[in-house]
């Protein structure tokens, strides 16, 4: 009886190991397919030229070598942008708890350069994460940056006080150290899901040329 139980246990363990291997293989295949699709879209490949909250020029080249979580929004956004930036900041904090992981740079690019100058960005972003980098620029430069990531942007009509809302795509982009967009996170993704996804991409990451 003990021998039969031992054989049965071994068969169950072998079947479980085989199932886990197949599941991992399928997940890797799905991740590779998704990454190929993102590369074909070329999100962010055109780059951008903006300036940070200190007025220094900053472009995509300055992000190379780092894992980046990038969000487009505006400081006068009534609810969506604050929620997404809170989530972004929390995801980064969760990743920071894992000391073995490389740091993630959180970046916010405004879609409303008319109102979001360096000072406005600096005051607004310090509430979300101490390392959050804010980028702004001329209307033309901002449009180019949004277009590079295929982010939809449309300013609404102004009210009697001259105020307006900017409609835009609500997405957070994950860029790897080679500057390649590896994932896009929408409003439905939680901070925990974003952090878990980023960890997965870090673990499977292979630098270009290797």
**Residue 204 confidence (pLDDT):** 87
Strand pairing of 104-110 and 67-73?
parallel
β-strands 153-155, 166-168 pairing: antiparallel
What is the predicted pLDDT for the residue at 162?
A: 86
Query: Is 168 assigned a ligand-binding role in the annotation?
Result: yes
Architecture of domain 49-204 in CATH? Answer: 3-Layer(aba) Sandwich (3.40)
Mean pLDDT by 10 residues, the chain (210 residues): 67 67 58 60 74 94 95 95 96 94 96 95 92 96 94 92 92 94 94 96 79
- What whole-number distance in Å separates Cα of residue 187 and Cα of residue 176? 21
Q: Which pTM value belongs to this model?
A: 0.80
b/e per residue 163-197 (b: at least 16 CB within 10 A): eebbebebbbbbbbbebbbbbbbeeebebeebbeb
Please give the Cα distance from 17 to 9 (Å, whole number). 12
Beta-strand runs (E) in the chain: 49-52, 57-59, 67-73, 104-110, 133-136, 153-155, 166-168, 172-175, 181-185
User: Which residues share a beta bridge with 58?
Assistant: 50
Q: How far is CA 102 from CA 35, 46, 129, 176, in A?
A: 20, 25, 17, 11
């Amino acid at each position: 009886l003990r021998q039969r139980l031992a054989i049965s246990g071994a068969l169950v363990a072998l079947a479980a190991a085989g199932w886990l291997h197949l599941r991992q293989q399928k997940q890797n295949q799905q991740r590779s397919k998704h990454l190929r699709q993102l590369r074909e879209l070329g999100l962010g490949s055109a780059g951008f030229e903006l300036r940070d909250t200190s007025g220094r020029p900053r472009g995509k080249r300055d992000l190379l070598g780092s894992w980046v979580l990038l969000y487009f929004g505006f400081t006068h956004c009534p609810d969506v942008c604050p929620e997404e930036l809170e989530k972004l900041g929390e995801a980064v904090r969760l990743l920071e708890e894992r000391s073995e992981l490389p740091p993630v740079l959180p970046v916010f690019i405004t879609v409303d350069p008319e109102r979001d100058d360096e000072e406005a960005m600096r005051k607004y972003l310090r509430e979300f994460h101490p390392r959050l980098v804010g980028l702004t620029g001329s209307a033309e430069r901002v449009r180019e940056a949004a277009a590079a990531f295929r982010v939809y942007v449309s300013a609404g009509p102004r009210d009697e006080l001259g105020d307006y809302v900017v409609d835009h795509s609500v997405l957070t982009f994950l860029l790897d150290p080679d500057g390649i967009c590896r994932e896009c996170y929408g409003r439905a993704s939680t901070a925990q899901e974003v952090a878990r996804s980023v960890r997965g991409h870090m673990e499977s990451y292979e630098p270009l040329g290797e």
